[in-house]
Amino acid sequence: MKTNFFTKLLSISAAVIAVVLVSQLFIQSSEPAESISNNESSESSYAISSLDIPASLNFAGEEVPIQRYDIKESFDRELLVNTYWQSQTILFIKRANRYFPIIEPILAEQGVPDDFKYLSLIESSFIPRAQSPAGAVGLWQFMRATAREYGLEVNPEVDERYHIEKSTVAACKYIKKMHDHYGSWTLAAAAYNAGRTGVNRQLSRQKTDSYYDLLLGEETGRYVFRILAAKEILNNAEKYGFFVKEEDLYPVIESIDFEVNTKVADFADFAKQYGTSYKELKNLNPWLREAYLTNSSKKAYTIKLPKSSKQYLNKPIKAEADSTVNK
């Protein structure tokens, strides 16, 4: 009986061990399958896709030969860059809501195609104080000499390259001059980037009169395609996966105009006097480069103030600063 007892005990123990081993094998074999299933689910919920290229494109009413492989691939590159650089393009969309309403009527009034608003966007990302390493500044990225040539005031106290409306008018003058020279808005855009001398040299060297037939350096070679990509995405934002609520768009900042034809001893005092802050005053008038305005010639300048400043407009400008400032 003792032998039978031990035999039964061994049999039961062996059975328990067998069940445990089988259970472990089942668990181990099923875990990778579950892991794979989870991975597959994760992978299927996120995908990066190539983009459909539009069948036709135009810039300023001029047809883009998008059927050509080189043109298609150049455009594809910029479309991909701007579609998948999501943070930058979201900001483009938001800022465009603020600056397009200012730029569009000036382009129309000056006889420049509306598509050139995308050139300004590409030039500066619609950052009013944008400055390039070469020294070009403002929404239209004017160099100092070119700005003066086209009627902008540029000095240590006043730099109208930062003046949105005036710099837009100056840009229109330049663009129209380039169009008169080339007979092409596309080449006018290229010349805005590379300069007339640079574009002329390549047209002569390569014996062509078309931007799309030119072999150009990296920056100018991509330039028009970057403009085209910005135009395509901003006109079809949801198609490219950008969903921006109306309330998230940056609004046009409402302001009133105030004429100044005297010196301003201290813009911090000036701002306080008219019910605003130095920061807000400079944000509305980035072309005012100093903390004061000498204005010895008594020139009339139109300064923007917040709408809330209207109640203070009858106050005369203080002749002297309340505290010591550089003069």
Q: How many helices and strands (H and E) does the chain possess?
A: 11, 4
pLDDT of residue 287: 99
Q: Domain spans of the chain?
A: 57-248, 255-312
Along the chain (327 residues), what's the average pLDDT of each consecutive run of 10 residues? 44 52 46 44 67 95 98 97 95 98 99 99 98 97 98 98 99 98 98 97 98 97 98 97 97 95 96 96 98 96 92 66 45
> What's CA 131's distance to the chain center, in Å?
13
CB 261, CB 299: distance < 8 Å: yes
pLDDT of residue 54: 94
d(C-alpha 165, C-alpha 247), whole Å = 25
Coil/strand/helix, residue 47: coil
CB 170, CB 142: distance < 8 Å: yes
Place of tokens 């668990």: 27
The pair of structure tokens assigned to 190 is: 């290229």
Q: Which residues contact 177 (CB under 8 A, 6 or more apart)?
A: none
pLDDT of residue 310: 74
Identify the CATH number of the domain defined by range 57-248. Answer: 1.10.530.10
Q: At what angle do helices 164-182 and 196-206 cross, to 10 degrees?
A: 20
pTM of this structure: 0.83
The pair of structure tokens assigned to 23 is: 């259970």
User: 290, 285, 300, 313: which is closest to 129 by C-alpha?
Assistant: 285
d(C-alpha 212, C-alpha 223), whole Å = 11
> What's CA 151's distance to the chain center, in Å?
26
pLDDT of residue 11: 56
